[in-house]
Amino acid sequence: MAHTETRQGSAEPNAAGSQRRSFWGALLGNSSYDAVTRVLFKTQRRQFIILASFPLFWVLFAHLGPILQMFWISFLDSYPPTAGVEPQLTFANWMTFFEARIFMMPFFRTLGFALTLTLTTLLITYPVAYFLAKHVRRGNQLMFLLLLLIPFWVGEIVRTYAIMILLGNTGAVNLILQWLGLTDRPIPFMYTSFSLSLGIIYLTSLYMLLPLYSSLEKIPRNYLEAAADLGAGPWRRFFRVTLPLSREGIASGCTLVFLISTGYYATPVLLGGPSTTVFAETIAGFFHVAGDEWPVGAAFSSIMLITTLTLTGIFLKLMGRTGKGLME
Amino acid sequence: MTRSTRILMSVIYWAFVVYLFVPLILMVMMGFKDSAFIGFPIKAWTFEWYLGVFQDTKVINVFLYSMAIALSTTFLSLVIGTWIASFLGPYKFPGKLIVFALTCLPAVIPGIISAISLRIYARFLDIDPGMMAIILGHTVHNVPFVTLVVMARLATLPKSHIEAARDLGADSIVAFFRVTLPYLRPALIGAGIFCMLLSFDDFVRAFFLGSYQPTLPVLIFAKLRSGMSPEINAISTVVLVMTAILGIWAERSMRRMNKGTE
């Protein structure tokens, strides 16, 4: 069995080009190539080290590096450094946050917003995911899912603009409301927490829906049938079987939506107003002006990163999961 | 579930589809409006805004610039992501979970913080704001996705394939290029298109890492801040059509890959 599979697997590239085979054959027969690989791959251990070196370098240099550098900058009194002046270590940047209400307010507003939106998104998308996973025939599920995925591929800015057109004073919603005679002057939906919430739910709902769908889809039908045979009504079946078994999806979906919605910058700028300033705008403010403010911005970013990751860590722990497999 | 809840749920599903599509449809329609004023109702229609976009050399330059960034990012992300996956997938070693967590880190950091930290890091590495900085930023953001997709595909590669190649005289490099890489093809196509989408659509990293030359989302943002116009709708619609086509293509190749392994 294994043998036939192997043949099929290697037959394809062979057929693809007989010229390439001679290249690889020549490479293997080349004496200098042979000498080099003999040294490099002499032992399993050496081979492992060579394979491991670049990935380890990359994750430390490019994934962890920027975060550590940001933490480091947040303790300096000036950055980018001016020539001849040695930057001093200081806690002042971190203390700035606790001293002013104009910084604290957006921070807590962002967290509150993100939590509310996560919960709302969960409530909206759960029935949709349930319908997809349990009521649509398996052959049609892909089509129904694709219908939801297409708008999802469109970028943040374009979709934010679409919401602006929908909700503007001369937008579609106001046109319909006036036509129905429900209001005689346009309702100012834009630049409020309403428009911002609607926009962010519009952007993030699929991050909730997909994990929910994949966890609901995995629940075997006979579990529910067994519960029904034992006399459980529809609501009881839902709360005792379906909901606990979709916990995995709820946990990943909520984590993703929470982390993503705290990170939006353009959407709050375009859809929000002065009363809805979020922390991303506060942080960005420190980078628009001359370089001196970078350390404060770095400190604020660190505060936000630590807070959001701690909150999601606690949440995942409560849901009985570790962070592993979050993205799956 | 009872019949009525079933009907209710299908109503919720379709309402959700309408919620997702209506804003985009309205946006596309507005690009055909024969007036510079954004708003309903639309009384007269025109193709002028679209024609204008295709003749505007500035928009075309921005488009090409964004494409160049997206293609470079995709290439780098695929190489790095595949390398990390072929290291993390088959090998067991102490601290593997930590390396895996570090690999996924850029994917879970909120966008604004990712952009800010990369901006600081680019300054630290002496990379000026501009194309190089954006490519670095996008690559860092995309590598986790490539790694996860490739790891999933690698897990289904039968060990016997590699062993057979080794028996036939291939060393590990040749075995990788002749056996593993062809096997990974569908995963690489899917992940690659996904990378292009992520890079092409990204605003926050391009905004903070870019110079005066904007990428397409940054250009749309800048135009929006100075006032809405059907021209923006026309540009956005072009972006929308492109991303939708790319997305469906990615979805198809990924779906085929999953079918092949079942």
User: What pLDDT, on the 0 to 100 scale, is given for residue A138?
Assistant: 79
Of A150, A202, A259, the CB nearest to B108: A259
Domain that holds residue B190: 56-261
pLDDT at position A4 is 40
> Mind telling me how many Å the CA of B30 is from chain A's nearest CA?
9
Q: Is the pLDDT of residue A16 over 90?
A: no
Q: Do B101 and A67 touch (CB under 8 A)?
A: no
Residue B33 located in a structural domain:
no
Three-class DSSP category at A89: strand
Q: Does A97 touch chain B (CB under 8 A)?
A: no
Contacts of A8 (CB under 8 A, 6+ apart): none
Average pLDDT (A162-169) is: 86
- The percent of residues above 90 in pLDDT, for chain A, comes to 30
pLDDT tens-digit map of A29-40 = 778 888 888 777
Asked whether residue B23 is domain-assigned, the answer is no
Confidence of residue A321 (pLDDT cuts 50, 70, 90): low
Find the largest Cα–Cα distance for chain A.
Answer: 86
Mean pLDDT of B176-199: 89
Share of chain B above pLDDT 90, in %: 37
Q: How many CB pairs under 8 A join A and B?
A: 304
Mutation site, A24, A57, A130, A153, interface B, largest B CB count within 10 A: A153
Which pLDDT value is given to residue B90?
82
Residue B7 has pLDDT above 70, yes or no: yes
Measured distance CA(B57)–CA(B47) in Å, rounded? 18
CB contact under 8 A, A264 and B111: yes
Distance between CA A259 and CA A196 in Å, rounded? Answer: 16
A311: pLDDT confidence band, cut at 50, 70 and 90?
very high
- Give, for A23, the enclosing helix (H) or strand (E): helix A18-29
Contacts of range A238-247, beta carbons closer than 8 Å, 24 or more positions apart = A238/B1, A242/A130, A242/A216, A245/A215, A245/A218, A245/A219, A246/A212, A246/A215, A246/A216, A246/A219, A247/A215, A247/A319, A247/A320
**CB-CB neighbors (< 8 A) of A297 in chain B:** 116
The string of pLDDT tens digits covering residues A71-87 is 999 998 877 777 777 77
Task: Kindly tell me if the per-residue pLDDT of B2 is higher than 80.
Answer: no
Which among B9, B63, B91, B120 is the top mutation candidate for probing chain A, defined by the most A β-carbons within 10 Å of its own β-carbon? Answer: B120
Q: Would the CA dihedral through B93, B110, B64, B30 be positive or negative?
A: positive
Q: What is the pLDDT of residue A98?
A: 87
Between B25 and A31, residue with greater pLDDT: B25
**Residue numbers in B near A298 (CB within 8 A):** 116-117, 120
Whether pLDDT at A1 is above 70: no
Angstrom distance (rounded) from CA B196 to CA B138: 10
* pLDDT mean over A157-169: 88
Q: What is the pLDDT of residue A9?
A: 41
Find which of A21-25, B17-21, B24-28, B67-71 is predicted with most confidence, using mean pLDDT: B67-71
Chain B residue with CA closest to A131: the answer is: B9
Beta-carbon contacts of B253 under 8 Å, excluding residues fewer than 6 positions away, are B186, B189, B190, B193
| Average pLDDT estimate for B231-256 | 82
Of B30, B145, B148, the CB nearest to A165: B30
Instruction: Find the mean pLDDT for residues A177-185.
Output: 82
Please give the residue of chain B at the shortest CA–CA distance from A235.
B1
- Find the closest chain B residue to A136 by CA distance: B10
Least confident of A14-18, A256-260, B97-101: A14-18
Helix intervals (H) in chain B: 3-30, 48-55, 57-88, 96-108, 111-124, 131-154, 159-167, 172-175, 181-201, 204-209, 216-225, 230-261
Please say if the pLDDT value at position B64 is more than 50.
Answer: yes
H helix or E strand, kind and range, residue A98: helix A92-99
Phi-psi region of A90 (alpha: psi -120 to 50; beta: other; left: phi over 0): beta
Reported as a single tens digit per residue, the pLDDT across A20-30 is 557 877 887 77
* pLDDT score recorded for residue A36: 82
Q: If pLDDT is split at 50, 70 and 90, which confidence band does A325 have?
A: very low
pLDDT in tens, A212-228: 998 998 888 888 888 88
Supply the pLDDT for residue A208.
93
B246 part of a folded domain: yes
The number of domains in chain B is 1
Fold of A92-318: MetI-like fold (1.10.3720)
Residues B91 and A48: beta-carbon distance below 8 Å: yes
Confidence of residue B66 (pLDDT cuts 50, 70, 90): very high
What average pLDDT is seen over chain B? 86
Read off the tokens for B75.
């290439």
Q: Do A70 and B120 touch (CB under 8 A)?
A: yes
Mean pLDDT value of segment B182-190: 88
Amino acid identity for residue B208 in this structure: F
**CATH classification at residue B209:** 1.10.3720.10
User: Domain boundaries in chain A?
Assistant: 15-73, 92-318
Q: Give residue B4's pLDDT.
A: 81
**Average pLDDT rounded to a whole number, residues A238-242:** 84
Question: What is the mean predicted confidence (pLDDT) over B229-250?
Answer: 84
Flag if B224 and A270 touch (Cβ within 8 Å): yes
- Please tell me which of the candidates A55, A128, A132 has its beta carbon nearest to residue B83: A55
Does the residue B189 lie in any domain?
Answer: yes
Please report whether residue B66 resides in a domain: yes
| B1 in any annotated domain | no
Residue in A27, A52, A69 closest to B87 by CB: A52
Residue B132 lies in a domain: yes
The per-residue pLDDT for range B143-172, each reduced to its tens digit, is 999 999 999 889 888 888 888 887 887 777
Residue A117's identity, in one-letter code, is L
Q: Which of A230-234, B115-119, B238-242 has the highest mean pLDDT?
A: B115-119
Amino acid at B193: I
pLDDT of B259: 63
Question: Measured between CB atoms, which of B116, B124, B178 is closest to A297?
Answer: B116
Q: Is residue B14 assigned to a domain?
A: no
- Contacting residues for B222 by C-beta, under 8 A, at least 6 apart: B214
Question: pLDDT tens for residues A89-111?
Answer: 888 888 888 888 888 889 999 99
pLDDT on residue A309:
92
Mean local confidence (pLDDT), B228-236: 84
Give the amino acid at A18: S
Average predicted confidence (pLDDT) for chain A? 83
* Alpha-carbon gap: B131 to the closest alpha carbon of chain A (Å): 17
Chain A residues whose beta carbon lies within 8 Å of the beta carbon of residue B205: none
State the pLDDT at residue A3.
Answer: 42
Q: What is the DSSP string of A55-85?
A: HHHHIIIIIIHHHHHHHHHTTBSSSSPPTT-
* For residue B106, pLDDT beyond 90: yes
Q: Does pLDDT of B133 surpass 70?
A: yes
- The share of chain A scoring above pLDDT 70, in percent, equals 90
- Give the separation between CA B184 and CA B188, rounded to whole angstroms: 6
A155 vs B144, B177, B201: nearest CB: B201
| pLDDT for res A184 | 79
Q: What's the Cα-to-Cα distance from B33 to each of A142, B47, B142, rounded to whole Å?
A: 35, 8, 37
